[in-house]
């Protein structure tokens, strides 16, 4: 069991030793391992994303008493591979009136924050690419830059629907950023640190979801809105504005936006697991396996919500963020702070 637990760590150690045995200087070895980490994170992201699209279609099927894709490969598992291949072979249309440079850039730019988020996620015991002392702050800061790419795509397409869609996306993502950040404050106060590894370590005995249920629910709602997923998928509301910011994108460029959404789904679920469900901690199984199991449980929750609730209206959406979630998360911060002080005063 110990070897399974440390399979990735020992692989890393073996790689370093192998590089040193070639007589490489330390800085080069460091550079090589950074490249390997980056590739590993990218592989993790892509493998998950491809699988998630399949999972979403299957979950949607079962939620609606259908079977979902089941013809391509066993149980339809290769359905998304076929889709990805097909999208690769599609014509890449750039509208004549579009801002060509921005239009192209936006589809690439959307993926950068989506993958950068995984740098601070602890995948398992000592399995974190960069354990920043401001890890959580980094996550929120980088995560919110995705808005720019969406706005860029919507603006540069020079299409009224995509502009409307991207305006909606920006309004929604910025509004929900605030309750999201406040809901995380309670956890930070309990853990006393912004460093991901310390937040995980602080949940050794008790998961924070028990101490911070309100924060978790606020986080869950705000994160759903951040992801532009149903019931908050107004930016892409098909009945109103076709496909939102992505109306003019075709083929692989569209696929990049689509995949970035699923990459964000993984990262938001990973953050939820790290902050509220004890991260990689768990009995018997290896830590990274626990992490993956918990992340998939969170993803399933997101999908469940998406396929059971109808889309809400724009004004309700904003009202929910500013009139309900924000006060609730502020009260949560206040109550948490008071409780911490009280317990300290009582000497617990």
Partner 1 sequence: MEVEKGRGGFLLSTVEFFLNHARARSFWPVTYGLACCAIEMMAAGGARFDIARFGYEVFRASPRQADLMIVAGTVTNKMAPLLVRLYEQMPEPKWVVAMGSCACSGGPFVDSYNVVKGVDTLVPVDVYVPGCPPRPEALFDGLLKLRAKVINPRVAKVAGDAR
CB of 176 to partner 1, least distance (A): 24
Near partner 1 by CB under 8 A: residue from 31, 34, 47, 93: 93
CA angle 178, 124, 18 (to 5 degrees): 125
Near partner 1 by CB under 8 A: residue from 51, 250, 285, 330: 250
Q: Is 248 in the site for partner 1 (CB under 8 A)?
A: yes
Q: Which stretch binds partner 1 (CB under 8 A): 37-45, 168-176, 238-246, 291-299?
A: 238-246
Q: Is 64 in the site for partner 1 (CB under 8 A)?
A: yes
**Under DSSP, is residue 88 helix (H, G, I), strand (E, B) or coil?**
helix
Contact 274, 198 (CB under 8 A): no
CB of 258 to partner 1, least distance (A): 9
What burial class does residue 285 get, using C-beta atoms within 10 Å of its C-beta: 0-12 exposed, 13-18 middle, 19+ buried?
middle
**Under DSSP, is residue 170 helix (H, G, I), strand (E, B) or coil?**
helix
Near partner 1 by CB under 8 A: residue from 61, 99, 116, 198: 61
CA 196 to chain CA centroid, nearest Å: 15
Near partner 1 by CB under 8 A: residue from 92, 108, 324, 327: 92
Contact 52, 303 (CB under 8 A): no
Near partner 1 by CB under 8 A: residue from 19, 49, 59, 68: 68
DSSP 8-class letter at 236: G
Count of residues near partner 1 by CB under 8 A = 36
List of residues 6+ apart from 257 with CB closer than 8 A: 107, 110, 153, 245, 246, 249
Q: Which stretch binds partner 1 (CB under 8 A): 114-122, 183-191, 245-253, 276-284?
A: 245-253
Q: Is 102 in the site for partner 1 (CB under 8 A)?
A: no
Site for partner 1 in 215-234 (CB under 8 A): none
Near partner 1 by CB under 8 A: residue from 6, 69, 177, 333: 69
Q: Is 71 in the site for partner 1 (CB under 8 A)?
A: yes
Near partner 1 by CB under 8 A: residue from 238, 327, 335, 342: 238
Neighbours of 72 (CB within 10 A): 15
Q: Is 316 in the site for partner 1 (CB under 8 A)?
A: no
User: Among candidates 269, 266, 278, 267, which has minimal Cα distance to 209?
Assistant: 278
- Per-residue x/- track, 72-91, partner 1 (CB under 8 A): x---x--x-xxxxxx-xxxx
Contact 265, 227 (CB under 8 A): yes
User: Rounded CA gap, 67 and 200, in Å?
Assistant: 38
**Under DSSP, is residue 243 helix (H, G, I), strand (E, B) or coil?**
coil
Contacts with partner 1 by CB under 8 A lie at 57, 60-61, 64-72, 76, 79, 81-86, 88-93, 238, 242-243, 246-251, 254
């Amino acid at each position: 069991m110990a070897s399974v637990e440390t399979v990735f760590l020992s692989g890393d150690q073996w790689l370093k030793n192998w590089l040193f045995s070639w007589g490489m200087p330390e800085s080069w070895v460091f550079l090589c391992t950074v490249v390997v980490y980056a590739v590993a994170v990218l592989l993790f992201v892509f493998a998950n994303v491809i699988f998630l699209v399949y999972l979403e279609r299957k979950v949607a099927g079962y939620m609606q008493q259908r079977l979902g894709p089941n013809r391509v490969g066993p149980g339809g598992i290769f359905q998304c591979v076929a889709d990805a291949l097909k999208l690769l072979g599609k014509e890449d249309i750039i509208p004549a009136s579009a801002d060509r440079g921005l239009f192209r850039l936006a589809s690439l730019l959307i993926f950068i924050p989506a993958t950068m988020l995984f740098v601070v996620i602890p995948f398992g015991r000592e399995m974190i690419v960069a354990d920043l002392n401001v890890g959580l702050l980094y996550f929120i800061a980088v995560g919110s830059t995705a808005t720019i790419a969406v706005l860029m795509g919507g603006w540069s397409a020079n299409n009224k629907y995509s502009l409307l869609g991207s305006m909606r996306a920006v309004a929604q993502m910025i509004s929900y950023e605030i309750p999201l950040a406040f809901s995380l404050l309670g956890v930070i106060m309990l853990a006393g640190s912004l460093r991901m590894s310390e937040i995980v370590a602080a949940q050794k005995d008790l998961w924070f979801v028990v101490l911070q249920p309100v924060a978790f629910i606020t986080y869950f709602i705000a994160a759903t809105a951040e992801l532009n997923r149903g019931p908050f998928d107004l930016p892409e509301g098909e009945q109103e504005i076709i496909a939102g910011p992505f109306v003019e994108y075709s083929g692989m460029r569209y696929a990049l936006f689509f995949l970035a959404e699923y990459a964000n789904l993984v990262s938001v679920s990973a953050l939820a697991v790290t902050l509220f469900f004890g991260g990689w901690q768990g009995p018997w199984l290896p830590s990274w396996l626990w992490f993956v199991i918990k992340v998939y449980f969170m993803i399933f929750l997101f999908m469940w919500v998406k396929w059971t609730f109808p889309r809400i209206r724009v004004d309700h959406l904003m009202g929910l963020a500013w009139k309900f979630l924000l006060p609730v998360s502020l009260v949560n911060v206040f109550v948490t702070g008071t409780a911490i002080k009280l317990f300290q005063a009582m000497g617990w």
